[in-house]
Structure 1
Protein backbone atom coordinates (compact mmCIF):
# COMPACT_ATOMS: atom_id res chain seq x y z
CA UNK A 1 0.00 0.00 0.00
CA UNK A 2 1.23 3.52 -0.76
CA UNK A 3 2.98 5.25 2.13
CA UNK A 4 0.99 8.18 3.62
CA UNK A 5 3.69 10.75 2.86
CA UNK A 6 3.84 9.70 -0.79
CA UNK A 7 0.04 9.93 -0.99
CA UNK A 8 0.11 13.55 0.17
CA UNK A 9 2.98 14.36 -2.15
CA UNK A 10 1.29 12.77 -5.15
CA UNK A 11 -1.99 14.62 -4.55
CA UNK A 12 -0.17 17.93 -4.13
CA UNK A 13 1.85 17.16 -7.24
CA UNK A 14 -1.39 16.95 -9.24
CA UNK A 15 -3.51 19.70 -7.65
CA UNK A 16 -0.88 22.46 -7.58
CA UNK A 17 -0.27 22.56 -11.38
CA UNK A 18 -4.03 22.16 -11.91
CA UNK A 19 -4.75 25.21 -9.75
CA UNK A 20 -1.98 27.15 -11.49
CA UNK A 21 -3.29 26.34 -14.96
CA UNK A 22 -6.86 27.23 -14.03
CA UNK A 23 -5.77 30.46 -12.43
CA UNK A 24 -4.01 31.49 -15.65
CA UNK A 25 -7.06 30.57 -17.74
CA UNK A 26 -9.33 32.43 -15.34
CA UNK A 27 -7.18 35.56 -15.65
CA UNK A 28 -7.26 35.37 -19.45
CA UNK A 29 -11.04 34.98 -19.49
CA UNK A 30 -11.65 37.81 -17.01
CA UNK A 31 -9.54 40.18 -19.10
CA UNK A 32 -11.85 39.81 -22.09
CA UNK A 33 -14.23 42.73 -22.17
CA UNK A 34 -17.55 42.55 -23.99
CA UNK A 35 -17.17 38.77 -24.07
CA UNK A 36 -20.23 36.61 -24.84
CA UNK A 37 -22.16 35.01 -21.98
CA UNK A 38 -20.65 31.59 -22.69
CA UNK A 39 -17.19 32.97 -21.88
CA UNK A 40 -18.44 34.45 -18.60
CA UNK A 41 -20.05 31.14 -17.66
CA UNK A 42 -16.81 29.34 -18.50
CA UNK A 43 -14.96 31.70 -16.17
CA UNK A 44 -17.39 30.80 -13.37
CA UNK A 45 -16.86 27.09 -14.05
CA UNK A 46 -13.09 27.51 -13.79
CA UNK A 47 -13.48 29.22 -10.42
CA UNK A 48 -15.81 26.49 -9.13
CA UNK A 49 -13.27 23.78 -10.02
CA UNK A 50 -10.58 25.77 -8.20
CA UNK A 51 -12.78 25.73 -5.09
CA UNK A 52 -13.28 21.95 -5.39
CA UNK A 53 -9.54 21.34 -5.77
CA UNK A 54 -8.84 23.34 -2.62
CA UNK A 55 -11.33 21.15 -0.74
CA UNK A 56 -9.55 18.07 -2.09
CA UNK A 57 -6.24 19.34 -0.73
CA UNK A 58 -7.68 19.20 2.80
CA UNK A 59 -8.32 15.45 2.56
CA UNK A 60 -5.83 13.77 4.88
CA UNK A 61 -3.49 10.82 4.40
CA UNK A 62 -5.66 8.44 6.43
CA UNK A 63 -8.75 9.21 4.33
CA UNK A 64 -6.81 8.55 1.11
CA UNK A 65 -5.64 5.29 2.66
CA UNK A 66 -9.26 4.33 3.39
CA UNK A 67 -10.38 5.31 -0.12
CA UNK A 68 -7.75 3.04 -1.64
CA UNK A 69 -5.27 3.08 -4.49
CA UNK A 70 -7.87 2.88 -7.27
CA UNK A 71 -9.70 6.02 -6.12
CA UNK A 72 -6.39 7.84 -5.68
CA UNK A 73 -5.16 6.92 -9.17
CA UNK A 74 -8.49 7.68 -10.85
CA UNK A 75 -8.76 11.01 -9.02
CA UNK A 76 -5.30 11.99 -10.21
CA UNK A 77 -6.17 10.94 -13.77
CA UNK A 78 -9.38 13.03 -13.67
CA UNK A 79 -7.51 16.10 -12.45
CA UNK A 80 -4.71 15.61 -14.98
CA UNK A 81 -7.22 15.43 -17.84
CA UNK A 82 -8.87 18.62 -16.65
CA UNK A 83 -5.49 20.37 -16.37
CA UNK A 84 -4.50 19.33 -19.88
CA UNK A 85 -7.85 20.51 -21.27
CA UNK A 86 -7.42 23.91 -19.59
CA UNK A 87 -3.91 24.32 -21.00
CA UNK A 88 -5.03 23.39 -24.52
CA UNK A 89 -8.05 25.67 -24.33
CA UNK A 90 -5.91 28.57 -23.08
CA UNK A 91 -3.58 28.12 -26.07
CA UNK A 92 -6.60 28.13 -28.41
CA UNK A 93 -8.08 31.18 -26.68
CA UNK A 94 -4.86 33.15 -27.14
CA UNK A 95 -4.91 32.30 -30.85
CA UNK A 96 -8.59 33.24 -31.18
CA UNK A 97 -7.93 36.66 -29.61
CA UNK A 98 -4.60 37.43 -31.29
CA UNK A 99 -5.96 40.64 -32.87
CA UNK A 100 -7.18 42.01 -29.54
CA UNK A 101 -5.33 44.24 -27.09
CA UNK A 102 -5.98 45.47 -23.58
CA UNK A 103 -8.70 42.90 -23.02
CA UNK A 104 -11.00 44.49 -25.63
CA UNK A 105 -12.01 42.10 -28.40
CA UNK A 106 -11.21 43.25 -31.92
CA UNK A 107 -14.06 42.83 -34.38
CA UNK A 108 -12.38 39.84 -36.05
CA UNK A 109 -11.95 38.09 -32.70
CA UNK A 110 -15.40 39.06 -31.45
CA UNK A 111 -16.92 37.34 -34.47
CA UNK A 112 -14.79 34.23 -33.97
CA UNK A 113 -15.27 33.87 -30.22
CA UNK A 114 -18.87 35.03 -30.31
CA UNK A 115 -20.04 32.61 -33.00
CA UNK A 116 -17.61 30.13 -34.48
CA UNK A 117 -16.05 28.90 -31.22
CA UNK A 118 -19.23 28.60 -29.16
CA UNK A 119 -19.24 24.80 -29.42
CA UNK A 120 -15.69 24.49 -28.09
CA UNK A 121 -16.33 26.96 -25.29
CA UNK A 122 -19.43 25.01 -24.25
CA UNK A 123 -17.53 21.71 -24.43
CA UNK A 124 -14.80 23.10 -22.17
CA UNK A 125 -17.43 24.32 -19.73
CA UNK A 126 -19.06 20.88 -19.61
CA UNK A 127 -15.73 19.19 -18.98
CA UNK A 128 -15.02 21.52 -16.07
CA UNK A 129 -18.45 20.85 -14.60
CA UNK A 130 -17.83 17.11 -14.81
CA UNK A 131 -14.44 17.51 -13.14
CA UNK A 132 -16.05 19.48 -10.32
CA UNK A 133 -18.72 16.81 -9.80
CA UNK A 134 -16.09 14.06 -9.62
CA UNK A 135 -13.83 15.93 -7.20
CA UNK A 136 -16.74 16.89 -4.96
CA UNK A 137 -17.81 13.23 -4.84
CA UNK A 138 -14.31 12.21 -3.69
CA UNK A 139 -14.43 14.86 -0.96
CA UNK A 140 -17.90 13.68 0.13
CA UNK A 141 -16.75 10.06 0.54
CA UNK A 142 -13.59 11.17 2.37
CA UNK A 143 -15.72 13.26 4.71
CA UNK A 144 -18.06 10.32 5.33
CA UNK A 145 -15.18 7.97 6.11
CA UNK A 146 -13.58 10.52 8.42
CA UNK A 147 -16.80 10.88 10.42
CA UNK A 148 -17.39 7.15 11.01
CA UNK A 149 -15.72 6.08 14.26
CA UNK A 150 -17.77 3.00 15.20
CA UNK A 151 -18.54 -0.22 13.35
CA UNK A 152 -22.20 0.14 14.29
CA UNK A 153 -23.84 2.12 11.50
CA UNK A 154 -26.35 4.55 13.02
CA UNK A 155 -29.43 5.96 11.32
CA UNK A 156 -27.68 9.33 11.04
CA UNK A 157 -24.80 7.71 9.19
CA UNK A 158 -27.23 5.85 6.94
CA UNK A 159 -28.89 9.17 6.14
CA UNK A 160 -25.52 10.67 5.21
CA UNK A 161 -24.73 7.62 3.10
CA UNK A 162 -28.01 8.03 1.21
CA UNK A 163 -27.22 11.67 0.48
CA UNK A 164 -23.72 10.82 -0.75
CA UNK A 165 -25.04 7.95 -2.89
CA UNK A 166 -27.65 10.26 -4.43
CA UNK A 167 -24.95 12.85 -5.18
CA UNK A 168 -22.74 10.30 -6.92
CA UNK A 169 -25.64 8.75 -8.86
CA UNK A 170 -26.56 12.23 -10.08
CA UNK A 171 -22.99 12.76 -11.24
CA UNK A 172 -23.08 9.39 -13.03
CA UNK A 173 -26.31 10.31 -14.83
CA UNK A 174 -24.86 13.67 -15.91
CA UNK A 175 -21.65 12.03 -17.15
CA UNK A 176 -23.57 9.39 -19.13
CA UNK A 177 -25.67 12.09 -20.81
CA UNK A 178 -22.53 14.07 -21.69
CA UNK A 179 -20.94 10.97 -23.22
CA UNK A 180 -24.00 10.31 -25.40
CA UNK A 181 -24.06 13.90 -26.66
CA UNK A 182 -20.30 13.87 -27.20
CA UNK A 183 -20.35 10.66 -29.21
CA UNK A 184 -23.06 12.19 -31.40
CA UNK A 185 -20.95 15.33 -31.96
CA UNK A 186 -17.91 13.29 -32.91
CA UNK A 187 -19.95 11.18 -35.31
CA UNK A 188 -21.42 14.29 -36.97
CA UNK A 189 -17.99 15.88 -37.35
CA UNK A 190 -16.51 12.75 -38.87
CA UNK A 191 -19.43 12.42 -41.32
CA UNK A 192 -19.17 16.05 -42.38
CA UNK A 193 -15.37 16.17 -42.53
CA UNK A 194 -15.42 16.23 -46.35
CA UNK A 195 -17.95 19.05 -46.52
CA UNK A 196 -16.12 22.33 -45.84
CA UNK A 197 -19.36 24.30 -45.74
CA UNK A 198 -20.54 22.17 -42.84
CA UNK A 199 -17.28 21.29 -41.16
CA UNK A 200 -15.48 24.61 -41.55
CA UNK A 201 -11.77 25.20 -42.25
CA UNK A 202 -9.45 22.23 -41.87
CA UNK A 203 -7.53 23.84 -38.99
CA UNK A 204 -10.74 24.56 -37.11
CA UNK A 205 -11.99 20.99 -37.57
CA UNK A 206 -8.76 19.52 -36.23
CA UNK A 207 -8.85 21.90 -33.27
CA UNK A 208 -12.44 21.04 -32.41
CA UNK A 209 -11.87 17.31 -32.84
CA UNK A 210 -8.87 17.39 -30.54
CA UNK A 211 -10.85 19.09 -27.81
CA UNK A 212 -13.78 16.69 -28.16
CA UNK A 213 -11.45 13.68 -28.00
CA UNK A 214 -9.84 15.08 -24.85
CA UNK A 215 -13.28 15.62 -23.36
CA UNK A 216 -14.27 12.02 -24.15
CA UNK A 217 -11.15 10.68 -22.43
CA UNK A 218 -11.83 12.84 -19.39
CA UNK A 219 -15.45 11.74 -19.17
CA UNK A 220 -14.49 8.07 -19.41
CA UNK A 221 -11.94 8.47 -16.61
CA UNK A 222 -14.49 10.32 -14.46
CA UNK A 223 -17.10 7.63 -15.13
CA UNK A 224 -14.72 4.94 -13.84
CA UNK A 225 -13.96 7.04 -10.76
CA UNK A 226 -17.65 7.60 -10.01
CA UNK A 227 -18.39 3.86 -10.23
CA UNK A 228 -15.62 3.20 -7.72
CA UNK A 229 -16.88 5.94 -5.40
CA UNK A 230 -20.42 4.59 -5.54
CA UNK A 231 -19.17 1.23 -4.31
CA UNK A 232 -17.28 3.02 -1.53
CA UNK A 233 -20.52 4.67 -0.40
CA UNK A 234 -22.27 1.34 0.30
CA UNK A 235 -22.83 0.28 3.91
CA UNK A 236 -20.39 -2.65 3.72
CA UNK A 237 -17.56 -0.37 2.56
CA UNK A 238 -18.38 2.27 5.18
CA UNK A 239 -18.33 -0.40 7.92
CA UNK A 240 -14.89 -1.58 6.73
CA UNK A 241 -13.65 2.00 6.84
CA UNK A 242 -14.96 2.29 10.42
CA UNK A 243 -12.99 -0.82 11.43
CA UNK A 244 -9.81 0.63 9.93
CA UNK A 245 -10.51 3.90 11.71
CA UNK A 246 -10.70 2.06 15.03
CA UNK A 247 -7.56 0.06 14.31
CA UNK A 248 -5.58 3.21 13.54
CA UNK A 249 -6.95 5.29 16.44
CA UNK A 250 -5.44 3.21 19.28
CA UNK A 251 -1.68 3.02 19.50
CA UNK A 252 0.90 1.68 21.94
CA UNK A 253 4.13 3.63 22.23
CA UNK A 254 7.31 3.10 24.19
CA UNK A 255 7.98 5.67 26.87
CA UNK A 256 11.44 6.08 28.40
CA UNK A 257 11.84 7.38 31.94
CA UNK A 258 15.48 8.32 32.41
CA UNK A 259 18.31 6.09 31.23
CA UNK A 260 17.13 2.70 32.46
CA UNK A 261 13.42 2.93 33.17
CA UNK A 262 11.01 2.34 30.33
CA UNK A 263 7.41 1.27 29.86
CA UNK A 264 4.44 1.39 27.51
CA UNK A 265 1.70 3.94 27.12
CA UNK A 266 -1.61 3.22 25.41
CA UNK A 267 -3.56 6.07 24.02
CA UNK A 268 -6.22 7.13 21.52
CA UNK A 269 -5.40 9.43 18.63
CA UNK A 270 -8.48 11.19 17.38
CA UNK A 271 -7.09 12.38 14.10
CA UNK A 272 -9.26 13.13 11.11
CA UNK A 273 -8.89 14.96 7.85
CA UNK A 274 -6.20 17.05 9.55
CA UNK A 275 -8.89 17.94 12.07
CA UNK A 276 -10.99 19.52 9.35
CA UNK A 277 -14.74 19.17 9.05
CA UNK A 278 -16.24 19.49 5.60
CA UNK A 279 -19.46 21.43 5.46
CA UNK A 280 -22.22 21.29 2.90
CA UNK A 281 -21.35 22.90 -0.39
Structure 2
Protein backbone atom coordinates (compact mmCIF):
# COMPACT_ATOMS: atom_id res chain seq x y z
CA UNK A 1 0.00 0.00 0.00
CA UNK A 2 1.55 3.30 -1.12
CA UNK A 3 1.71 5.79 1.81
CA UNK A 4 0.96 8.69 -0.54
CA UNK A 5 -2.16 6.94 -1.82
CA UNK A 6 -3.22 6.30 1.79
CA UNK A 7 -3.01 9.98 2.69
CA UNK A 8 -4.85 11.03 -0.44
CA UNK A 9 -7.44 8.31 0.11
CA UNK A 10 -8.21 9.27 3.69
CA UNK A 11 -8.50 12.97 2.92
CA UNK A 12 -10.53 12.14 -0.18
CA UNK A 13 -13.09 9.98 1.62
CA UNK A 14 -13.56 12.19 4.67
CA UNK A 15 -13.61 15.74 3.30
CA UNK A 16 -16.64 15.46 0.94
CA UNK A 17 -18.64 13.59 3.59
CA UNK A 18 -17.82 16.24 6.23
CA UNK A 19 -18.90 18.94 3.76
CA UNK A 20 -22.28 17.26 3.09
CA UNK A 21 -22.89 16.70 6.80
CA UNK A 22 -22.15 20.32 7.71
CA UNK A 23 -24.38 21.69 4.94
CA UNK A 24 -27.28 19.56 6.21
CA UNK A 25 -26.50 20.61 9.77
CA UNK A 26 -26.62 24.29 8.77
CA UNK A 27 -30.00 23.83 7.08
CA UNK A 28 -31.46 22.17 10.18
CA UNK A 29 -29.99 24.79 12.52
CA UNK A 30 -31.67 27.53 10.47
CA UNK A 31 -35.06 26.08 11.40
CA UNK A 32 -35.58 27.87 14.73
CA UNK A 33 -38.73 25.95 15.63
CA UNK A 34 -37.55 22.56 14.38
CA UNK A 35 -39.57 19.50 15.50
CA UNK A 36 -37.98 17.08 17.97
CA UNK A 37 -37.22 14.60 15.18
CA UNK A 38 -34.99 17.14 13.42
CA UNK A 39 -33.35 18.22 16.68
CA UNK A 40 -32.41 14.60 17.31
CA UNK A 41 -31.06 14.32 13.77
CA UNK A 42 -28.90 17.38 14.41
CA UNK A 43 -27.22 15.58 17.34
CA UNK A 44 -26.61 12.53 15.14
CA UNK A 45 -24.95 14.74 12.52
CA UNK A 46 -22.64 16.26 15.12
CA UNK A 47 -21.62 12.78 16.32
CA UNK A 48 -20.79 11.57 12.81
CA UNK A 49 -18.87 14.78 12.12
CA UNK A 50 -16.69 14.08 15.18
CA UNK A 51 -16.19 10.46 14.07
CA UNK A 52 -15.02 11.64 10.64
CA UNK A 53 -12.55 14.07 12.22
CA UNK A 54 -11.15 11.15 14.24
CA UNK A 55 -10.92 9.08 11.06
CA UNK A 56 -8.87 11.83 9.41
CA UNK A 57 -6.42 11.63 12.34
CA UNK A 58 -5.61 7.95 11.67
CA UNK A 59 -1.97 7.80 10.56
CA UNK A 60 -0.55 6.20 7.42
CA UNK A 61 1.10 3.47 9.52
CA UNK A 62 -2.22 2.68 11.20
CA UNK A 63 -4.02 2.40 7.84
CA UNK A 64 -1.27 0.05 6.67
CA UNK A 65 -1.83 -2.14 9.73
CA UNK A 66 -5.57 -2.25 9.01
CA UNK A 67 -5.01 -3.33 5.41
CA UNK A 68 -6.26 -2.46 1.93
CA UNK A 69 -9.69 -4.04 2.39
CA UNK A 70 -10.53 -1.94 5.47
CA UNK A 71 -9.36 1.24 3.74
CA UNK A 72 -11.48 0.50 0.66
CA UNK A 73 -14.55 -0.39 2.72
CA UNK A 74 -14.08 2.69 4.92
CA UNK A 75 -14.08 4.78 1.76
CA UNK A 76 -17.29 3.15 0.53
CA UNK A 77 -19.09 3.51 3.87
CA UNK A 78 -18.03 7.14 4.31
CA UNK A 79 -18.95 8.09 0.75
CA UNK A 80 -22.41 6.52 1.16
CA UNK A 81 -22.95 8.47 4.37
CA UNK A 82 -22.09 11.76 2.65
CA UNK A 83 -24.30 11.00 -0.36
CA UNK A 84 -27.18 10.06 1.91
CA UNK A 85 -26.89 13.40 3.75
CA UNK A 86 -26.86 15.21 0.41
CA UNK A 87 -30.05 13.46 -0.72
CA UNK A 88 -31.77 14.07 2.60
CA UNK A 89 -30.86 17.77 2.39
CA UNK A 90 -32.61 18.02 -0.99
CA UNK A 91 -35.63 16.22 0.43
CA UNK A 92 -35.74 18.52 3.48
CA UNK A 93 -35.69 21.52 1.15
CA UNK A 94 -38.75 20.12 -0.65
CA UNK A 95 -40.56 19.50 2.63
CA UNK A 96 -39.95 23.06 3.88
CA UNK A 97 -40.54 24.95 0.62
CA UNK A 98 -43.59 26.77 2.06
CA UNK A 99 -41.65 28.18 5.03
CA UNK A 100 -39.75 31.44 5.46
CA UNK A 101 -37.15 33.01 7.78
CA UNK A 102 -36.40 29.74 9.56
CA UNK A 103 -39.99 29.30 10.78
CA UNK A 104 -41.96 26.33 9.56
CA UNK A 105 -45.41 26.90 8.14
CA UNK A 106 -48.22 24.79 9.59
CA UNK A 107 -48.24 22.70 6.43
CA UNK A 108 -44.48 22.07 6.52
CA UNK A 109 -44.50 21.43 10.27
CA UNK A 110 -47.10 18.69 9.76
CA UNK A 111 -44.99 17.28 6.92
CA UNK A 112 -41.70 17.14 8.86
CA UNK A 113 -42.99 16.54 12.37
CA UNK A 114 -45.65 13.95 11.63
CA UNK A 115 -45.99 12.64 8.08
CA UNK A 116 -42.29 12.09 7.44
CA UNK A 117 -41.19 10.78 10.85
CA UNK A 118 -40.32 7.40 9.35
CA UNK A 119 -38.11 9.06 6.75
CA UNK A 120 -36.31 11.12 9.40
CA UNK A 121 -35.91 8.06 11.65
CA UNK A 122 -34.33 6.11 8.78
CA UNK A 123 -31.79 8.90 8.24
CA UNK A 124 -31.08 9.05 11.98
CA UNK A 125 -30.41 5.31 12.11
CA UNK A 126 -28.05 5.57 9.15
CA UNK A 127 -26.06 8.28 10.91
CA UNK A 128 -25.91 6.35 14.18
CA UNK A 129 -24.64 3.27 12.39
CA UNK A 130 -22.11 5.29 10.41
CA UNK A 131 -20.75 6.69 13.68
CA UNK A 132 -20.56 3.20 15.20
CA UNK A 133 -18.67 1.81 12.21
CA UNK A 134 -16.19 4.69 11.92
CA UNK A 135 -15.52 4.60 15.65
CA UNK A 136 -14.76 0.87 15.38
CA UNK A 137 -12.23 1.59 12.63
CA UNK A 138 -10.48 4.29 14.69
CA UNK A 139 -10.38 2.17 17.88
CA UNK A 140 -9.03 -0.85 16.01
CA UNK A 141 -6.36 1.29 14.33
CA UNK A 142 -5.26 2.58 17.75
CA UNK A 143 -4.96 -0.96 19.13
CA UNK A 144 -2.90 -2.11 16.13
CA UNK A 145 -0.62 0.87 16.70
CA UNK A 146 -0.16 -0.05 20.37
CA UNK A 147 0.84 -3.59 19.42
CA UNK A 148 3.44 -2.37 16.95
CA UNK A 149 5.03 0.04 19.40
CA UNK A 150 5.60 -2.32 22.32
CA UNK A 151 5.27 -5.86 23.55
CA UNK A 152 1.72 -6.98 24.31
CA UNK A 153 0.90 -6.29 27.96
CA UNK A 154 -2.01 -7.73 29.90
CA UNK A 155 -3.78 -4.37 29.59
CA UNK A 156 -3.46 -4.38 25.79
CA UNK A 157 -4.65 -7.98 25.58
CA UNK A 158 -7.75 -7.10 27.63
CA UNK A 159 -8.37 -4.07 25.37
CA UNK A 160 -8.09 -6.25 22.25
CA UNK A 161 -10.52 -8.82 23.66
CA UNK A 162 -12.99 -6.07 24.52
CA UNK A 163 -12.73 -4.57 21.04
CA UNK A 164 -13.22 -8.02 19.53
CA UNK A 165 -16.41 -8.48 21.58
CA UNK A 166 -17.65 -4.97 20.74
CA UNK A 167 -17.22 -5.50 17.01
CA UNK A 168 -18.96 -8.91 17.21
CA UNK A 169 -21.89 -7.21 19.00
CA UNK A 170 -21.98 -4.50 16.33
CA UNK A 171 -22.16 -7.13 13.59
CA UNK A 172 -25.07 -8.87 15.34
CA UNK A 173 -26.89 -5.52 15.71
CA UNK A 174 -26.23 -4.68 12.04
CA UNK A 175 -27.61 -8.00 10.85
CA UNK A 176 -30.75 -7.51 12.95
CA UNK A 177 -31.25 -4.00 11.57
CA UNK A 178 -30.62 -5.21 8.04
CA UNK A 179 -33.36 -7.84 8.38
CA UNK A 180 -35.78 -5.16 9.65
CA UNK A 181 -34.89 -2.79 6.80
CA UNK A 182 -35.37 -5.56 4.22
CA UNK A 183 -38.88 -6.12 5.59
CA UNK A 184 -39.60 -2.37 5.64
CA UNK A 185 -38.42 -1.91 2.07
CA UNK A 186 -40.60 -4.76 0.84
CA UNK A 187 -43.64 -3.29 2.60
CA UNK A 188 -43.01 0.17 1.12
CA UNK A 189 -42.70 -1.19 -2.40
CA UNK A 190 -45.98 -3.11 -2.04
CA UNK A 191 -47.95 -0.34 -0.28
CA UNK A 192 -50.41 1.85 -2.15
CA UNK A 193 -49.72 5.56 -2.51
CA UNK A 194 -51.18 7.44 0.46
CA UNK A 195 -53.60 10.34 0.18
CA UNK A 196 -51.81 13.70 -0.31
CA UNK A 197 -48.57 11.79 -1.03
CA UNK A 198 -46.88 12.80 -4.28
CA UNK A 199 -45.03 10.37 -6.49
CA UNK A 200 -41.81 12.23 -5.61
CA UNK A 201 -42.47 11.69 -1.88
CA UNK A 202 -43.16 7.99 -2.41
CA UNK A 203 -40.02 7.55 -4.50
CA UNK A 204 -37.98 9.47 -1.92
CA UNK A 205 -39.27 7.30 0.95
CA UNK A 206 -38.41 4.09 -0.89
CA UNK A 207 -35.02 5.46 -1.92
CA UNK A 208 -34.19 6.47 1.67
CA UNK A 209 -34.82 2.95 2.98
CA UNK A 210 -32.94 1.42 0.04
CA UNK A 211 -29.95 3.61 0.88
CA UNK A 212 -30.19 2.51 4.51
CA UNK A 213 -30.14 -1.09 3.31
CA UNK A 214 -26.99 -0.42 1.27
CA UNK A 215 -25.26 1.41 4.12
CA UNK A 216 -25.98 -1.42 6.55
CA UNK A 217 -24.67 -4.00 4.09
CA UNK A 218 -21.46 -2.03 3.57
CA UNK A 219 -21.03 -1.54 7.31
CA UNK A 220 -21.43 -5.27 7.92
CA UNK A 221 -18.63 -6.04 5.44
CA UNK A 222 -16.35 -3.47 7.06
CA UNK A 223 -17.07 -4.72 10.58
CA UNK A 224 -16.45 -8.33 9.52
CA UNK A 225 -13.08 -7.31 8.06
CA UNK A 226 -12.22 -5.48 11.30
CA UNK A 227 -13.26 -8.51 13.35
CA UNK A 228 -11.01 -10.77 11.31
CA UNK A 229 -8.07 -8.41 11.82
CA UNK A 230 -8.60 -7.93 15.55
CA UNK A 231 -9.07 -11.69 16.00
CA UNK A 232 -5.66 -12.29 14.42
CA UNK A 233 -4.16 -9.56 16.60
CA UNK A 234 -5.67 -11.15 19.72
CA UNK A 235 -4.24 -14.57 18.86
CA UNK A 236 -0.78 -13.12 18.22
CA UNK A 237 -0.87 -11.13 21.45
CA UNK A 238 -1.81 -14.22 23.46
CA UNK A 239 1.04 -16.20 21.88
CA UNK A 240 3.46 -13.37 22.56
CA UNK A 241 2.34 -13.10 26.18
CA UNK A 242 2.71 -16.86 26.75
CA UNK A 243 6.30 -16.90 25.48
CA UNK A 244 8.93 -17.73 28.10
CA UNK A 245 12.68 -17.34 27.61
CA UNK A 246 15.22 -18.81 30.03
CA UNK A 247 18.92 -18.03 29.61
CA UNK A 248 21.16 -20.11 31.91
CA UNK A 249 24.75 -19.34 32.80
CA UNK A 250 27.53 -21.77 33.53
CA UNK A 251 26.26 -22.73 37.00
CA UNK A 252 24.37 -26.01 37.30
CA UNK A 253 22.42 -25.16 40.44
CA UNK A 254 20.32 -22.42 41.99
CA UNK A 255 17.44 -20.43 40.52
CA UNK A 256 18.24 -18.90 37.12
CA UNK A 257 15.46 -17.30 35.08
CA UNK A 258 16.09 -15.08 32.09
CA UNK A 259 12.52 -13.84 31.53
CA UNK A 260 9.34 -15.28 32.99
CA UNK A 261 5.73 -14.20 32.33
CA UNK A 262 3.97 -17.01 34.11
CA UNK A 263 3.22 -17.98 37.72
CA UNK A 264 6.12 -19.41 39.77
CA UNK A 265 5.27 -21.85 42.55
CA UNK A 266 6.88 -24.64 44.59
CA UNK A 267 10.16 -22.78 45.16
CA UNK A 268 12.00 -22.72 48.50
CA UNK A 269 14.84 -20.26 49.12
CA UNK A 270 17.77 -21.32 51.34
CA UNK A 271 18.24 -24.66 53.07
Q: TM-score, normalised by structure 1?
A: 0.80
Q: Contact conserved, 1:179 with 1:219, CA < 8 A, in 2? A: yes
The 5 A counterparts of 1:39-78 are 39-78=38-77
State the 1:200 CA deviation.
4.0
Structure 1 position 191 matched with structure 2 position 180: no
Structure richer in strand, relative to its length: 1
Structure 1 spans left out of the alignment, 5+ residues: 244-281
CA distance in 2, matches of 1:197, 1:89: 21
Secondary structure of 1:218 counterpart? helix
Question: What 5-or-longer segments of structure 2 have no aligned partner?
Answer: 241-271
Q: 1:201 and 2:224 equivalent?
A: no
- The 2-side partners of 1:214 and 1:62 are apart by 32
Cα deviation for residue 236 of structure 1 reads 4.3
Give how far 1:37 is off.
1.1
Deviation, structure 1 residue 5: 1.2
RMSD: 2.1
- Measured in 2, the distance between the counterparts of 1:79 and 1:101 equals 33
1:33 Cα deviation from its structure 2 partner: 2.1
**Aligned counterpart for 2:226 among listed residues 229, 244, 257:** 229
The alignment status of 1:213 with 2:210, answered yes or no, reads yes
- Preserved contact between residue 153 and residue 239 of structure 1 (Cα < 8 Å): no
Q: Is contact 1:127-1:218 (8 Å) kept?
A: yes
TM-score, normalization by structure 2 = 0.83
Higher relative CO (CA 8 A, sep ≥ 6), structure 1 or 2? 1
Aligned partner of 1:94 in structure 2 is 93
For these two proteins, the number of residue pairs brought into alignment is 239
CA separation in 2, counterparts of 1:97 and 1:200? Answer: 15
Moved >2 Å (runs of 4+)? 149-154, 195-203, 235-240
Q: How much does 1:205 deviate?
A: 1.2
State the 1:216 CA deviation. Answer: 0.8
Name whichever of 65-74 and 204-213 sits farther off: 204-213
**Which position in structure 1 is the counterpart of 2:258?**
none
Q: Distance in 1 between matches of 2:195 and 2:106?
A: 23
